[in-house]
Every structure is written in structure tokens, then in C-alpha cells.
Amino acid sequence: MLIARPSVPDRWIVLAVVFGFTFVLPTLGTGALYWFGQLDSLLLRERAQRPLPLLLATFSFGLAATILAQQLVFDRLLGQLIVGMVLAVFLTFVISLSWKISAHGVGVGGAAGLIALLYLTSAQPIELLWWLVGTIIIAGAVLTARLELEAHTSAQVWAGLALGVGVVLGMGLGLQLG
């Protein structure tokens, strides 16, 4: 799978849009929800506290995808990744309406799934082997930390991991078929 790289000035646009819309805006929005009394804590430990920040993140990630698609500065893989992130956060939002799935699990599952997909489709997979091993170790550490902090049950972290991996593999299959 060949990945096109945008020119250096365009890379800064991509980085700024992704950082702004997937980190800064959701962080500020969640802070504002806390400031205005919509959230009891920024930790979002209770399932009932999660829907508004997750919905905000879904819209924010969607705006990033829309802006980047209009700029035409990235290849199809990056477009699929951003759309996959929107889908993963939206599904986390929907599931969180009735059950507390691990959003951290979804995130590391997506990262592990992406590296695994790149590894499996690479002409030279040995170059990605250590990235895959490292990502799996990090995913294990994150899931273990969520369990040790008693933020989630085993089912919640495994479901999050499965959702993240599943969305990436589904998007990857769509990219291959499309």
C-alpha cells in the first residue's frame, strides 16, 4: 500500500487541522462543559458524563475530515483514517449511552489495527514488525492501566480494543475494495 505524502507546507496544514480538531477543540469543549456545570468531573468516570464530550468529539473529528477533504492535501489512506476515527468515536458515543465502553481501548485498538493492517499489506513487512510489536505493548499497557485504575472492567477494555481494531480493519477492507 503506497502512502502519498503531502508537500511540507501542506503537512503543516494537515497537522494543524488534525491537532486542532481532534485535541484542542474537544479538550476546550469538555472544559467548557465542566465550567458550565454539565459535567461533575473532567475524568468522566461515570457513564452518564460521557455522551456530551463524545458527541462533541464526533462533530469535531467530522469537521477535521471535512476540512481536509476540501483541501485535497492528503491521500486516500489518511482520508479513510479520519473517517474511521469519526466512526469509532461515534460508535463509542452510541455504546456509551447504555454501557461504559473504554474509549482508551478504542483508541489503542485503532492504532494497533492500523499498524497491523499496514504490516499485513506491506511489500516489506519486516520494516513494520517492531512498530507492530511496540504498538501491541503500548495497547497492553494502556488496557492494564485502565484496569488497575478501576476505570473499567475487563469486558469494557476488551470491547473497546475490539471496536478500535474492527473499525480500522473494516475501513481497510473498504479501501481495498473501493
List, for residues 33-85, the tens digit of each pLDDT value: 999 999 999 888 888 999 999 999 999 999 998 888 877 656 666 777 888 99
Lowest mean pLDDT among 6-10, 99-103, 105-109, 145-149: 6-10
Residue count of the chain = 178
Domain boundary residue among 63, 80, 99? 99
- What integer best gives the mean pLDDT of the chain? 89
> Whose grid coordinates read 488497575?
148
Long-range contacts of 48-51 (CB under 8 A, 24+ apart): 50/93, 50/96, 50/100, 50/103, 51/93, 51/96, 51/97
The verdict on 110 and 70 lying in the same domain is no
Flag whether pLDDT at 108 surpasses 60: yes
Lowest mean pLDDT among 1-5, 14-18, 58-62: 1-5
Q: Is 37 left (phi over 0), alpha (psi -120 to 50) or beta?
A: left
- Output the pTM of the full model: 0.87
**Neighbour count for residue 138 (Cβ, 10 Å):** 13
**Neighbour count for residue 31 (Cβ, 10 Å):** 13
Domain boundary residue among 99, 118, 147? 99
Q: Residue 137 belongs to what domain range?
A: 101-177
User: What is the number of structural domains in the chain?
Assistant: 2
Q: Which three cell numbers stand for residue 11?
A: 503537512
